Amino acid sequence: MKKIIMFYGRECPHCHAMKKAVGLLEKRDDVMVEMVEVWHSEKNAKRMEKFKGMITKACGGGFGVPALVDEKKRRALCGERKYEELKEWIGG
């Protein structure tokens, strides 16, 4: 089973839009997604900060949510994405 982290903000509309796609990824593609809310948790925000270099590289210099991190492959994906994009990213 593959595991990724999704950093999100509770009120972020882009993060909410991603929930359906992430749910499909978990259901159809045997992926475990750890959801980590960073806007209301200093502890979680500090955890996201540990991946800042990886995230900003993947985001063209930006650092925000939603951001997905694959620790094992040392890569990130940013912004609102469709299921097909997530599936391709996790499989690559």
Domain of 14: which CATH number? 3.40.30.10
Is residue 35 within 8 Å of 12, Cβ to Cβ?
Answer: no
Section 71-79 average pLDDT: 95
Residue 92 has pLDDT above 70, yes or no: no
* pLDDT at position 29: 92
The tally of domains found in the chain comes to: 1
- pLDDT tops 80 at residue 11: yes
Q: Evaluate if residue 71 carries a pLDDT over 70.
A: yes
In terms of phi and psi (left: phi > 0; alpha: psi -120 to 50; beta: otherwise), the region of 74 is left
pTM of the shown model: 0.94
Q: Which domain holds residue 53?
A: 2-91
Average pLDDT over residues 39-57: 97
pLDDT on residue 91? 86
